[in-house]
Structure 1
Amino acid sequence: MASVAGNDTASPTLGTALQRWVTDWGSSVVDGLVVVGDMALFTWRMVVWMCTRMPARGTMLVNFYQVGVLSLPVVSLTGTFIGMVLAVQSYYQFHSIGLENQLGAVINMSLVRELGPVLAATMLAGRVGSAMAAVLGTMRVTEQIDALTTMGADPIHYLVVPRFLACILLIPALTVMADFMGIVGGYFYSVIVLGIDHAPYLNHSREFVSGFDFLSGLFKSVFFGGIIAVVSCYRGFNCQAGADGVGRAATASFVHSFVLILAIDLFLNILLDALYFAMHPEGASIL
Structure 2
Amino acid sequence: MIKALNQIGKYFLMIKEVFNKPTKWSVMKSLILKDIDDLIIRSMGIVAFISFFIGGVVAIQTALNLTNPLIPKSLIAFATRQSVILEFAPTFISIIMAGRAGSYITSSIGTMRVTEQIDALEVMGVNAINYLIFPKIIAFTLYPFVIAISMFLGIMGGWLAGVYGGFVGSDQFLEGIQTDFIPFHVFYAFLKTFVFGMLLATIPSFHGFYMKGGALEVGKASTTSFVWTSVVIITVNYIITQLLLS
TM (norm. structure 1) is 0.81
- The residue number in structure 2 matching 1:132 is 105
SS of aligned partner of 1:37? helix
Task: Indicate conservation of the 8 Å contact 1:90/1:103, yes or no.
Answer: yes
User: How far apart are 1:204 and its partner, in Å?
Assistant: 2.1
% of aligned pairs identical? 28
Pick from 34, 37, 54: which aligns with 2:9? 37
- The residue number in structure 1 matching 2:183 is 211
Q: 1:46 to 1:92 in 2, by over 3 A?
A: same
Counterpart Cα distance in 2 of 1:192 and 1:161 = 46
Report which of the two structures shows the higher radius of gyration computed on alpha carbons.
1
Pick from 259, 266, 270: which aligns with 2:242? 270
Which stretch of the first structure deviates more once superposed, 90-99 or 246-255? Answer: 90-99
Task: Indicate conservation of the 8 Å contact 1:119/1:178, yes or no.
Answer: no
Task: Indicate conservation of the 8 Å contact 1:83/1:182, yes or no.
Answer: yes
- The residue number in structure 2 matching 1:255 is 227
Pick from 27, 48, 52: which aligns with 1:76? 48
Per-residue deviation, residues 167-192 of structure 1 (Å, max 9, x unmatched): 2x121011011111100110101111
The one of the two structures with greater contact order (alpha-carbon pairs below 8 A, sep at least 6) is 2
Counterpart Cα distance in 1 of 2:143 and 2:196 = 8
Pick from 196, 203, 207: which aligns with 1:235? 207
RMSD of aligned alpha carbons: 1.7
Q: Does 1:106 align with 2:79?
A: yes
Task: Indicate conservation of the 8 Å contact 1:108/1:209, yes or no.
Answer: no
Pick from 108, 111, 115: which aligns with 1:142? 115
Q: Does 1:67 align with 2:67?
A: no
SS of aligned partner of 2:84? helix
Task: Indicate conservation of the 8 Å contact 2:107/2:208, yes or no.
Answer: yes
Per-residue deviation, residues 245-264 of structure 1 (Å, max 9, x unmatched): 10111111111001111000
- The residue number in structure 2 matching 1:4 is none
User: How far apart are 1:46 and its partner, in Å?
Assistant: 1.6
Counterpart Cα distance in 2 of 1:133 and 1:79 = 25
Query: Which has a greater percent of helix?
Result: 1
User: How far apart are 1:53 and its partner, in Å?
Assistant: 7.3
Task: Indicate conservation of the 8 Å contact 1:67/1:170, yes or no.
Answer: no
SS of aligned partner of 1:125? helix
Note the residue ranges of structure 2 that are not aligned, 5 or more in a row. none
The aligned amino acid for 1:63 is D
Task: Indicate conservation of the 8 Å contact 1:134/1:236, yes or no.
Answer: yes
User: How far apart are 1:211 and its partner, in Å?
Assistant: 2.1
The aligned amino acid for 1:218 is F
TM (norm. structure 2) is 0.94
Q: 1:95 to 1:202 in 2, by over 3 A?
A: farther
- The residue number in structure 2 matching 1:191 is 163
Equivalenced residue count is 244
Task: Indicate conservation of the 8 Å contact 1:109/1:208, yes or no.
Answer: no
Task: Indicate conservation of the 8 Å contact 2:63/2:167, yes or no.
Answer: no
Per-residue deviation, residues 86-122 of structure 1 (Å, max 9, x unmatched): 1122112223354232110111111111111013212
